[in-house]
């Protein structure tokens, strides 16, 4: 039987596999995608120091290192169910059943859509789907596009699409409403961009971040030009909102309106921007389905993207022999996911070997590394992540105490 099964061959899963295998554990990694690397595969952006972050190369590096460490990796295997057995875990997949003593869920994050009329037309896709088509499969999703949703992710991917030879006509906001919420209010969008961009991947975003220290966003948005500002030649129009995606059997364009700083529609401002595909960037949420099935308790933390399985800094959940790492614990950058993966791998190895001092020491260093990586993160999807993480760890301690009490009472 396997010592450790890891679900998800993204940066978190691969790093964990390497760390655990290097400690002598017998490790297998499975993933439903045909290629190893998870979300790394699509990533390509420039860092403030001018270096490019090439996710595909990083994924390949980790893949090779895992193989050298003796990890067995299998792709195109979907996990559909998990149950606890006497000796550990039984994992049911599209390719049969796998048994393991310890289990690590590193399933990443999923995108959340912003439904608007016409979003079910062929040619409408999530921003991540466009990234995968262009950067992973090397297929142009179309020639001209409009992106709905202005956030760090959509801006980074807009530039990647441009590099694929696609004309990104504009980045606009979703119309204000119960689903888009703050993502539809120009003032709020600018505020969040300003807060997040102190280390942003582009000059303009960094400038906005610097300004944000001195200028109140509600003041700045008044001076934000109606026609938008340009980033790599792509207009970012925070005062334009998409109300409907047009087309009969395929996208032909997007109907937009001009909006005020608080999202109100300016009458008579309707316009159609032609495009042959449309990307919706609604944000990311931790993919917690498997954690839910095995009975983890959850905490809803908006800064982390939604419901996350309660865990401690060792990446241990409150279900014995079950660990989590990467974006399933909260949406953050690939570098943080890698650092968390290493922690999980070492924590599992330490448990396996009876908390030997040298592994515990390495684990402490690895936990330190997570905090450092987080503080220096180039891409932060939300402000206030460190504080949000502390509330999750605190919940873990509370749950643990409660469980101990229940055991002593019964």
Ligand X SMILES: Cc1cc2nc3c(=O)[nH]c(=O)nc-3n(C[C@H](O)[C@H](O)[C@H](O)COP(=O)(O)OP(=O)(O)OC[C@H]3O[C@@H](n4cnc5c(N)ncnc54)[C@H](O)[C@@H]3O)c2cc1C
Distance of alpha carbon 8 from alpha carbon 6, whole angstroms = 6
By the rule CB under 6 A, 9 interacts with ligand X: yes
By the rule CB under 6 A, 327 interacts with ligand X: yes
Of 1-9, 179-187, 226-234, 307-315, the window that binds ligand X (rule: CB under 6 A) is 1-9
Q: Which positions from 94 to 133 touch other proteins by CB under 8 A, shown as an x/- string?
A: xxxx------------x-xxxxxxxxx-------------
List the single partner that 333 binds among ligand X, other proteins, none, CB under 5 to 8 Å by kind.
ligand X
H-state helical runs in 78-233: 127-131, 152-163, 186-196, 203-214, 217-220
- Nearest Cα neighbor of 341 from 156, 93, 104, 129 is 104
By the rule CB under 6 A, 380 interacts with ligand X: no
How are the residues of the chain apportioned to helix, strand and coil, as percentages rounded to the nearest 5?
A: 40, 30, 30
The answer to whether residues 162 and 11 touch, using CB atoms and an 8 Å cutoff, is no
By the rule CB under 8 A, 398 interacts with other proteins: no
Helices 203-214, 186-196: inter-axial angle, 10-degree rounding? 100
Q: Of 58 and 236, which has the nearer Cβ to ligand X?
A: 58
Q: Which of 27, 40, 116, 161 binds ligand X (CB under 6 A)?
A: 40
H-state helical runs in 112-216: 127-131, 152-163, 186-196, 203-214
Distance of alpha carbon 232 from alpha carbon 204, whole angstroms = 9
Q: Which positions from 230 to 269 touch ligand X by CB under 6 A, shown as an x/- string?
A: ----------------------------------------
Half-sphere exposure of 68 (CA within 13 A, CB side): 8
By the rule CB under 8 A, 306 interacts with other proteins: yes
List the single partner that 135 binds among ligand X, other proteins, none, CB under 5 to 8 Å by kind.
none
List the single partner that 40 binds among other proteins, ligand X, none, CB under 5 to 8 Å by kind.
ligand X
By the rule CB under 6 A, 326 interacts with ligand X: yes
Interface with other proteins by CB under 8 A: which residues? 32, 78-82, 92, 94-97, 110, 112-120, 178-179, 181, 243-244, 285, 288-290, 292-293, 297-300, 306-307
């Amino acid at each position: 039987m396997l010592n450790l099964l890891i679900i998800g061959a993204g940066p978190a899963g691969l790093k964990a596999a390497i760390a655990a295998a290097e400690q002598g554990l017998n490790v297998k990694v499975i993933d439903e995608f045909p290629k190893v690397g998870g979300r790394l595969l699509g990533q390509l952006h420039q860092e403030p120091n001018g270096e490019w972050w090439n996710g595909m190369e990083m994924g390949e590096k980790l893949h090779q290192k895992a193989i050298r460490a003796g990890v067995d990796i299998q792709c195109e295997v979907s996990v559909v169910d998990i149950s606890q057995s006497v000796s550990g875990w039984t994992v049911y997949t599209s390719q049969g059943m796998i048994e393991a003593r310890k289990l690590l869920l590193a399933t990443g994050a999923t995108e959340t859509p912003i439904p608007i009329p016409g979003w079910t037309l062929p040619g409408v896709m999530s921003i991540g789907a466009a990234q995968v088509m262009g950067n992973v499969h090397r297929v142009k999703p179309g020639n001209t596009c409009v992106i709905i949703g202005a956030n760090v992710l959509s801006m980074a991917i807009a530039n990647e699409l441009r590099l694929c030879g696609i004309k990104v006509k504009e980045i606009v906001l979703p119309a204000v409403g119960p689903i888009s919420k703050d993502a539809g209010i120009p003032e709020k969008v600018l505020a969040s961009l300003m807060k997040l961009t102190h280390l942003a991947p582009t000059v303009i975003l960094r400038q906005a971040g610097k300004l944000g220290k001195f200028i109140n966003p509600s003041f700045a948005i008044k001076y934000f030009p109606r026609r938008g500002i340009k980033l790599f030649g792509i207009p970012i129009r925070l005062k334009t909102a998409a109300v409907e995606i047009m087309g009969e059997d395929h996208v032909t364009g997007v109907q937009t309106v001009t909006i005020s700083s608080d999202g109100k529609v300016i009458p008579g401002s309707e316009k159609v921007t032609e495009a042959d595909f449309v990307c919706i960037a609604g944000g990311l949420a931790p993919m917690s389905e498997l954690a839910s099935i095995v009975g983890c308790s959850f905490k809803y933390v908006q800064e982390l993207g939604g419901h996350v399985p309660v865990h401690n800094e060792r990446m241990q959940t409150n279900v014995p022999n079950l660990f989590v790492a990467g974006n399933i614990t909260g949406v953050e950058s690939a570098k943080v996911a890698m650092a968390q993966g290493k922690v999980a791998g070492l924590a599992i190895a330490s448990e396996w070997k009876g908390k030997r001092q040298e592994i515990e020491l390495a684990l402490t260093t690895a936990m330190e590394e997570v905090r450092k990586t987080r503080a220096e993160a180039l891409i932060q999807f939300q402000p206030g992540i460190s504080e949000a993480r502390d509330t999750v760890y605190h919940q873990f301690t509370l749950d643990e105490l409660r469980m101990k009490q229940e055991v002593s009472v019964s």
